[in-house]
Structure formats: structure tokens, C-alpha cells
Chains A and B, each alone.
Chain A
Amino acid sequence: MFVRKALYSSAAAVAVLLGATSVMAQVQEIPVDARSTLAPGIHDAAQAAQGMELEYAVTPPPGFFDPDAIFAPPTTREEAEAMRANPPRYSPLALANSDMAVSDGKLFVGNFNGFNIYDISGQGAPELVVSVVCPGGQGDLSVHGNLLFMSVEQNNGRIDCGASGASGAVNPERFRGIRIFDITDIKAPRQVAAVQTCRGSHTHTLVPSADPRTLYVYNSATSGVRRSDELSICSDGEPGTNPETALYSIDVIEVPLDHPENAAIVNRPRIFADRDTGAVAGLWMGGRAGVSSQATARTNHCHDITVFPELNRAAGACSGNGILLDISDPKNPQRISDIFDPDMAYWHSATFANSGEKVVFTDEWGGGTSPRCTAEAPGNWGANLVATITNGELRGRAFHKLPSVQGANENCVAHNGNIIPVPGRDLMVQAWYQGGVSVMDFTDPMRPVEIAYFDRGPLGERLMIGGSWSAYWLNGRIYSSEIARGIDVLRLVPSDQLSAAEIAAAEAVQMDEINPQTQTRISWADTPDVAGAYLDQLHRSEGITGDMHHQVMGVIDGWRRGRINAGAARTAAASLNEAASAQGVNPIDAGRMKALAEVLTRAAG
């Protein structure tokens, strides 16, 4: 794209200066497509979809919608002045939907004004169970057993969930931190604890421990430090002048599950410290790496952390850097790797591949309220950065941005997503605000590519903030939390990019509890769909011969009809293993052949 040449040079210069790795891949050309010019509307915008279809659009429940509450940020100086003279009666995003979690057939949808709980155990549309009003934003949610955790960051948050706000610089009624609700009575969640933190809570991540009676919560907080006369543990400033500063750390909260009311901060680890000197501010100090580089935020907080407890690893998206943590001792996370990239403005979220060997970092360039997918926006800014982990070292490999030019009235940038469990592939479904929902295949970390999408036109004829905040694969469907419009439920449909068997294999993976930032390793049962998924992938990539495809297909078809031909299955498995070991075979296809051979061998008994 238009700044690429200069970026190459600045990136190379930084790589030399800082020893940082930079992504040198070709910058994506962002095309105009069917999504680019959809007609606007709050409830009647035009739609476009490929590889998925909208099953249900659940409008916001009573008390959580008002057209006047949709935030229309000023886009000119005149508009800014007019807004100051005549402020809107809602604060920005007052009723915005945010992040989601799932437990026991219930979908928990966060909102700046509280949260809503839906029953999604049936076949039909999600059914509202209860709406809970408890303002404070952003309302990031996680669930563990009978406990629901909620992030509160805004100054108007009150300990008592009240809505009268908390005025003044110091207010004993103010709450910013992590609320814990007991949801035993699902229709009347009760607040049992409220852990105050110095910078509130923007997002949080549940971290299980070896002791099943203890749960840890990593709190990522991005806003200003509270005054010490409001919360005594807090003080502001750079570490040079204030070594006790509440900046440059995360909060580790310990939750005794038998007594959640005793939840408390037990550590505020200096995870950005320089590993040699111990200096607290050891990572990116903010600014541009080169003249045409992105202005990158200073690393004094994490925006979001995703843990993968089975691997004892966490990936942190920490404003100016992506980091990798060893969480063998969850109370004392240790940084083992960090990366910087001159094209990343704000490291926002992290998602591991199921293998744990790749991490997708997102860049929330512009903070989510700006149109960053227009034709003028560079194809590697506000994008995903696919990184690999080799011997504990992170390395950025390729950028991937929503491959569709979006309008100036659509706030759009990379946002929250999670893994779609298709065996043999690394797929991630992801929210792009008003850019819609997109599925990225990053099986090959050097060549991430989109394979499905859903999008609507903008909310209105001017920039109004909305779109998909989070899009997650939750037990067989994509749920998209639409900031202004409610909940969308999307179903994957077969295409030349994704087969019916691959979809069925993913849909069969069911989990009781899903907190997308607490990843668990997915394993698949041996089924004809799982075998078919691998086979379809090998066929699509032309990784196997027509004869072998035919041979394996015959085995799988028999298995589908209820009788697997054990002899034929073993023969096919042997052929696959042999082909996988042949010279020059693409390692991704070789992995699929071996996995398919294992499934067939086990199925043959």
C-alpha cells in the first residue's frame, strides 16, 4: 500500500536498533466488495454474508435500548463545539453491549449499564432470563461455577450498583474494579464482592489454579490511577519518581471459591520490567519507531490477557507490546518473551491457536470509535498480527485485515474473537465493529486469509458507534454482541472454503463453560465428520491424489452409514502415513494426513 516502502525501512531500522522482529510480509490490498456500500439503518440496514448466515437477531431487552443512547462522536470541530454546548443526555456508549461468556446453557452479555443473561440451551432463539442494571462500563464478563465476574472502569460506577453516579475526585461510594456476583439464583444475581483496583478494570481473565478451591483473576486496567485518598494502595507517576506507581503492572486477584467475599488483590507483578536491569518500565516507551511508523502506545498496562492454563502460558496484549507469560505459578506470572512492531498502534487482544504455537494479536488502532477500514487506511494498520511461538519466543509473521473497504460512517478495526474448533485448521471468528464478523484462517501463519463473513450497513447517515464488539464461537454457533443492535446468532454454512464435515466437526465440540480469554485445548472425538474434515482439507489444498481421496472417502462413507470397514480403514491409514512422510510434502498437509490416519486407525479398532 501507499506507505509500504517507507514502512519497510523504518521497520528494518527498528529491528536493528531494538533487536525487535518486524513483519515484512506483503501488505494486503483491501478490496471493495459486497460489504463496502451496504444501506444504513439501525434495525433495517442491508446485510451481506458469505459462508455464514444470520439465524437470529435478538434486539436489546427493555431498559437496554434507546436510539438516543447510540453514540455519535463529533467528527468536526464544529460538531465538537455543538456537543459541548448541548451535551447528549446519555454518556457515550451508555447502553452499549460488550463482551460475552457462556456457562451451563446460559449466555452472559455484558453492557455498560449492567448485563443480560440469555438461555441458549434450546434450539430456538436465545431467551432472555434476566436483565441486571449495574452501571460502570465496560462490563467485561467471565463466569466460573456460580460466580460471575464483571469489569468496572468508569468513574460513575458505584459499590451499590446504583445509577446516581459518583461525583468528585474522591468518593467513598465509587467502585472501579472487579465485581463478583453469585448467580445461584439466575433470575436474581447478588453481588457478593467488589474488589477495588487502582485503575479500575477494563478487561479481566480467569486463571484456574492447581487448588480447585482457589481461582485467580488477572485484571487489566487501562485508565487513570485513582487518588490515594480514595484507595490507599494507589499512587500515580512514572517509576523513576515513584517506584510504587500503580502503572506498569496488572492486578492478580485471589478468589477463595468457598468465600468469594474474601477476594483480594494478592500481587501486582511488574511484568514489563527490564529483565536485565529490573527497571519497572522495561518495554516500549511510546511513540513512533520511525517517521512513517504507527504511533505506538506506551507499555504501562495490558489491555487484555488470554491464558492457556494447560500450557502454563498467557499471551498479553499490552498497549505497546505483545508479551508471553509463564503462569506455572499463576500468582506470579513471569514474562518470557515480548515483541514490538512498528505497524501496531495498540496491542489489544490475544488468541492462541489450539496448538498453543501461534498467537493472533489484534491492533485496536484508533480505539474502536474510528473508521479505520476505509480505503485510505493502510492494510496492516488496525489489523491482526499473526505471531508464532518457537522455543518460547514470539515472532510476528503476517498481518491480516478485514478484506473489505468500509465506509467513513462505520467504526471499524480489529476486535475480539476466538477459535472455531475445526480439526486440521486454525480458524478464528472475530468482531470488526461495523466492519462486521469475519472468519480468518491462519493455519499458515504467513498467509492468513478470510473464509467467511457477515456484515451490515452502518447504523446511520453519519458516524454512530456500533457494530460487533465480540464475535465468539460458542458451542456450535457464532454469537456476536452488537454494541447497539443486540445479539446476533450466526450459523456457518458450507462453501468452497469450509465443508459441511468441517462445520459439523466444529459444532460437535461442546463445553460447559466458555470464557474466551481462558482457553482450553480442544480435542475431537473420532467421528466421520472429523475424518471428513481432514479429508476435505487435503482435497481443497490438493494435498492428496485423487485415488487416495477416493479410497478414504469410501471408508468414511461406510463409517457414516454405521459400519466402518476396518481393513480398508487400516489400509487407508497406512497410505496416508506413507504419503505424509514423502519428501516435499507441505507440513500442514502432512499433519492432516497423520491426524486422519490416527482417526481411521482408532476407528478401525
Chain B
Amino acid sequence: MLKLVGLLAAGLVLGQDPVQDPADAAPIVNPGAPGAATRQITASQAVDLSRTTHTAEDVRFMQHMIVHHAQAVEMVALLETRGSSPAVRNMGRRIALSQEAEIDLMRNWLLSRGLPLEPTDLHAGHAMAPAPASGGHDAHAGHMDHGAGHDAHGTAATPTDPDEIPLMPGMLSPAQMRRLAAAEGPEFDRLFLQGMIQHHQGALDMVDELLALPDSGNDPMLSDFLSSVVADQSAEILRMQSLLSDQ
């Protein structure tokens, strides 16, 4: 006579959250190094631990990069009506396609790991909103600080006006976005290329920053993604620099 034992399988089959262990469930523990104490952990931590590893910084990187890429797509949308150079327009369309594909990849990476798409340290819609609440800045100030590269790429030195502060390295500040949206013809093309080079350079800095952290970028899919971001954006920067010098 067979008796099927164990609540977990039933829980999974019914789609229940396996984290909600019954109160009398056996403990799950994680020992430390020899001599160190053993600590209690949750079922979801136990499964998390067994996955191909990713760190909290990996997750934050993906969430941020979605916002970062979304601005590039937004910039290309402006290009369609305001630019004048067919070469710049073609370049922009290629960028939008590749950024959109990468956004999909990043969303899938997060979704398939049961992770939120939006970072907890950015306000929803922040990236698109022209004038964020000041609290938003405080929340991500730390991130801004270690985005050391951005000053070198054209944003104003030590800006204090929130309107001049980009959300993350290389992104256009709300004021820059407004200036771009107000421009037309060759002037637009120039601002677009400068802005997009700054934007791409920022993405490369974000990758460098991530890889400098211990244990980051180990997830095989993430690691592949980082390589392709570096390769694609570096190539696009070169192409845009050449277009800029032709102008």
C-alpha cells in the first residue's frame, strides 16, 4: 500500500508558495565554516542557493539596465520625427532594435528567476519622468556615487540641480532629454549622437562596475549578456563617433 508523503510536491503542483512551511516543519539550516555557527534559513533561500548563482548586485544591474536601455529606445523615437540624416536614422533604428532585444532578454532573465522587473531603489517611472521627487535621488544616491565614470562623459561637473542629474551613469538628465526633444534637423542629429555615445559609454561603465564586485557576473546567461553588451555598444560607439565627425 503506497502512501505518498510530503507536502512539498502537492504544494508545487497546486502552485502554492513553498516558502510557507507549516509551523512544525523540520528546520532548514546552513552551516558555516569549520567551527562557525549553523544558521537557520528559509525554503526559498535553500532553493535560491542551489541555483546557478547570481548576486543581489547582478539582479540590480539587470533591473537598472532595463531602465537604461529604455531611454535609448525613447531617444530613437524622437529621432524618427526630428532628425535629418538618413545615416543617423538608420543607425538609431539598429540601436533601438538591439536595445529592445536586450530589454526582452533582461526581462526574461529576471522573470524566470522570479525576480521583480523594477529595482527597489528607483521609483517606478522615474526614468521617464522629467522631474523626480527629491526622495528618489536620496534613495539612489549611493549608486550615483560609485558610477564614477559619468562626469567624464559630458554631464556637468558636480550638478546639484536634480534636473541636471541623470538617473544612472550615461543616461541623459531630464534637462538633456528636454533639450534633445526641442532640437531639430542637424542640431538634433548632433545632440542625438553625443547623447547616445554618452549613454552607451555609461552602459559599459555599469558593466565594469558590476564585474569589479566579488562574485558578480557568474551566472552563465548574465555573463554572456555582459559580453554582448560590451561588444555591441563598443562597436556602436565607434560607428557613432565616425558619424559625428562626418557632420
Contacts and interface: CB of A to CB of B under 8 A. Distances in A.
Interface string B23-37: 001111111111111
A242 B64 CA distance: 51
A113 interface: yes
Interface stretch (B43-51, B121-129, B197-205): B43-51
Contacts of A56: 2-3, 5
A165 B53 contact: yes
B182 interface: no
25 contacts: A55-B2, A58-B5, A59-B8, A64-B47, A66-B50, A86-B221, A87-B52, A95-B47, A112-B50, A114-B46, A125-B5, A126-B5, A128-B26, A130-B28, A131-B26, A131-B46, A132-B28, A133-B29, A133-B45, A133-B46, A133-B49, A165-B53, A167-B218, A187-B27, A486-B6
B143 interface: no
Contacts, number: 170
Interface of B: 1-9, 12-13, 18-19, 21, 25-38, 41-53, 55, 112-113, 215, 218-221, 224
Contacts of A128: 25-26
Contacts of B25: 62, 128
A163 B39 CA distance: 14
A161 interface: yes
A135 B50 contact: yes
A165 B34 contact: no
A191 B36 contact: yes
A188 B32 CA distance: 11
What size tier do the contact residues of chain A reach? 35 or more
A60 B6 contact: yes
Interface in A182-221: 187-194
A377 interface: no
A261 B35 contact: yes
A114 B6 CA distance: 19
Interface in A448-498: 486
Nearest to A260: B34
Contacts of A240: none
B49 A163 contact: yes
A395 to B, nearest CB: 42
Contacts of B3: 55-57, 125
A76 interface: no
A43 B29 contact: no
Nearest to A127: B26
Contact of A59 (B5, B32, B34, B219): B5
Interface of A: 43, 53-67, 69, 86-91, 94-95, 112-114, 125-135, 156, 159-165, 167, 180-181, 187-194, 261, 486
Scoring A62, A193, A194 by chain B CB atoms within 10 A of each residue's CB, the highest score goes to A62
Contacts of A69: 50
Given A65-B8, A94-B51, A167-B215, A191 B33 contact: yes
A194 B31 CA distance: 12
Contacts of A53: 1-2
Contacts of A59: 4-6, 8-9
B48 A190 contact: no
Given A62-B21, A164-B55, A188-B38, A113 B49 contact: yes
A198 B31 CA distance: 23
Contacts of A63: 18, 28, 41-47, 50
A486 B31 CA distance: 22
Given A65-B12, A133-B28, A133-B49, 12 more contacts: A56-B5, A59-B9, A62-B43, A89-B51, A125-B5, A132-B28, A160-B33, A160-B36, A163-B50, A163-B53, A188-B27, A190-B31
A446 B61 CA distance: 64
B4 A191 contact: no
A264 to B, nearest CB: 13
A413 B247 CA distance: 69
Contacts of A43: 4, 9, 13
Contacts of B47: 63-64, 66, 95
A8 B149 CA distance: 72
Contacts of B55: 164
Nearest to B215: A164
Contacts of A165: 53, 215, 218
Contacts of B13: 43
7 closest Cβ pairs, A-B complex: A63-B46, A163-B49, A59-B6, A62-B43, A59-B9, A128-B26, A160-B33
